[in-house]
């Protein structure tokens, strides 16, 4: 039996193979160097963790792509265009705007965030007007005026504007 077992320890996702060997290529690592869950994982919780890891891993390759209002391609993203693009690549259909995305999925408390959850902020208008993908360790990935980048939920700007989070898997 060569199924992967997913374990969460100190906020890091680790994959351990039952034959006690680790087989991780660079494609199996998230931006922090953590081993991502392997397809041998089973169960909805493990599947959710795997999807979230894949979303962050796929999205991270677009770090530095410039911000473009209304952008939804690798030549330029706005926040919701980026999130929609990432999840569409993984087979998950999402609405186009941050406000519309905030109406889907299940609400998640801030202390229960999992990698891949959508995090929402109020920026240029009341309500959810900015969205990112929670990456673990208090970080999220989103398209900002600085382009696609990681930001901290505890950064004074984002912390003061946090609206909530949704789990879409």
- Annotated domain spans of the chain: 4-167
In CATH, what class is 4-167?
Answer: alpha beta
Report the C-alpha gap between 26 and 5 in whole angstroms: 19
- Mark out the alpha helices in the chain (DSSP H runs): 44-60, 79-89, 98-101, 156-161
Name the CA radius of gyration of the chain, rounded.
16
Strand order across the beta sheet in which 106-108 lies = 106-108, 162-167, 118-121, 130-136, 139-144, 147-152
The 3-state DSSP class for residue 76 equals strand
Question: What predicted TM-score, i.e. pTM, was given to this entire model?
Answer: 0.74
Chain segment 76-122, per-residue pLDDT in tens: 999 999 999 999 999 999 999 999 999 999 999 999 999 999 999 99
Chain segment 32-90, per-residue pLDDT in tens: 444 443 333 344 556 666 999 999 999 999 999 999 999 999 999 999 999 999 999 99
Backbone angles phi, psi at 76, to 5 degrees: 175, 135
Tokens of 156: 């004074």
Tokens of 124: 């240029």
User: How far is Cα of residue 118 from the mean position of the Cα atoms in its chain?
Assistant: 7
Query: What is each CA distance from 68 to 51, 78, 144, 147, in whole angstroms?
Result: 26, 5, 9, 8
Chain segment 121-165, per-residue pLDDT in tens: 999 999 999 999 999 999 999 999 999 999 999 999 999 999 999
């Amino acid at each position: 039996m060569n199924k992967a077992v997913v374990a969460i320890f100190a906020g890091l996702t680790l994959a351990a193979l039952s034959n006690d060997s680790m087989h991780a290529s660079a494609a199996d690592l998230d931006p922090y160097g953590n081993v991502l869950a392997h397809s041998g994982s089973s169960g909805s919780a493990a599947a959710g963790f795997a999807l979230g890891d894949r979303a962050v891993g796929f999205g991270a390759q677009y770090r530095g792509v410039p911000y473009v209002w209304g952008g939804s391609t690798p030549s330029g993203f706005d926040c919701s265009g980026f999130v929609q693009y990432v999840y569409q690549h993984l087979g998950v259909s999402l609405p186009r705007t941050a406000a519309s995305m905030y109406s889907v999925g299940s609400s998640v408390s801030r202390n229960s965030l999992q990698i891949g959850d959508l995090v929402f902020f109020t920026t240029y208008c009341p309500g959810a007007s900015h969205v990112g993908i929670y990456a673990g360790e208090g970080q999220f990935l989103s398209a900002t005026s600085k382009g696609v980048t990681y930001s901290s939920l505890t950064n004074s700007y984002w912390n003061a504007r946090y609206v909530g989070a949704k789990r879409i898997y």
